[in-house]
Amino acid sequence: MTGKVFKLSMVLSLLTGCVCNAVQDSNASWQPDVKLSGLTKLFETGKTRQIVVSTDGNADFNSIQKAIDSVDKDNKERVIVLIKPGFYKQRVLIPKNKPFITLRGTDPFKTTVSYNLNHDMNKPDGSGKYLADCATLIVESPDLILENLTIENTYGPHPQALAAKLVCERAIAVNCRFLGGQDTLMANSGRQYYVNCYVEGGTDFIYGYAQAVFDNCMIHSKGNSHITAHAATEPNLPTGFVFYSCRVTTADGIMTDLGRPWRPYAKVVYYDCWLDKGIKPEGWDNWRDPNREKTAFYAEYKSFGPGANPSSRVKWSHQLTDAEAKKFLPENFMKLDEHTIDQWLREILDFRKTTALKN
């Protein structure tokens, strides 16, 4: 056993509270961690109220959307929508004027929100194609929390068929699974923090303009394509994707890269991640535009595993030094306007210190 594999094994043992086998291949399974639910409870107060949804009718509502619709506009206190185990074939929209909503399941393997629209389908009202609004879950409001859920789009590998489109500041997802083919998860604006989540897809399946950290997550590719497609249209914007202590796995026979720039100033960093054998040696793609090699920022720090191959990476990518990597630690990368640790971020950082999350 190598020192690095042992290091990751110990981290995962702490996360799950059990003795885990070392992560040596792409068959390592993802599991929710009940201890991490403590993070979401930090954002609840004595005024937090709960609405219950169940498919059996023994609840406040039998539809997640009906529960959302019942929340007052411009609500000031958190509302928990507790979703009982079941298969919910329905789309969910949380509009801009309904902040502070938590969608909470009890087990992501038993609570699934599912639909099957795609990017090229026409809307029934004749207003045009769905495009990114084909997503099963669309959230436009701030202060979202997702917990213990599977959110999926079952249309297939192509064309784009989103599971979730998150256009929101201060979003948190804990113990969630996002399943799809192309464009599974659109993290499209604001600061978003994913803890112990599982994201699966084939092409550009984590994409958008957001400032997002994926902390101790499992990223699984099932396509000979690209994992990320971050976007930024200007340099030095507070945006980008950081994969922090993640496992990046690939299906058998798959060869994929870590990402390609959807817009010229894309920024993606893999920080201390285990990479599977299906990661291409060159690591990154320029989206058929050599000019983006001059503007995109693609980097790794201490990647390990069979897919870690720093000497073969494209020359325009970066292998970070210890000093350079500090910028992409959660406490630095997720600051408000790159300067301020606000209360939202403080709660996350303090929680990380008191749990077994790797620092």
Q: Which residues face 215 on adjacent strands?
A: 195, 244
Asked whether the beta carbons of 130 and 117 are under 8 A apart, the reply is: yes
Tell me which of 33, 143, 204, 272 is the catalytic residue: 204
DSSP-derived letter for residue 132 is G
Place of tokens 């058929």: 288
The verdict on whether 204 is a catalytic residue reads: yes
| Helix (H/G/I), strand (E/B), else coil: 159 | coil
Are the C-beta atoms of 177 and 205 separated by less than 8 Å?
no
* Cβ(260)–Cβ(204) below 8 Å: yes
With contact defined as beta carbons under 8 Å apart, do 99 and 142 qualify? Answer: yes
Q: Is the dihedral of CA 331, 248, 211, 355 positive or negative?
A: negative
**Taking a C-beta distance cutoff of 8 angstroms, is the pair 205, 184 a contact?**
yes
Round to whole Å and give the CA distance between 246 and 19.
Answer: 19
Residue of 33, 183, 276, 285 with catalytic role: 183
What is d(CA 195, CA 33) in angstroms, rounded to the nearest whole number? 10
Cβ atoms of 194 and 164 closer than 8 Å? no
3-state SS assignment for residue 322: helix
183 is known as an active-site residue: yes
Residue whose pair of structure tokens reads 């609405």 in the numeric block: 51
Amino acid of residue 3: G
State which amino acid sits at residue 35: K
Find the helix or strand (DSSP H, E) in which 200 lies: strand 198-201
Any idea which residues carry the catalytic annotation? 183, 204
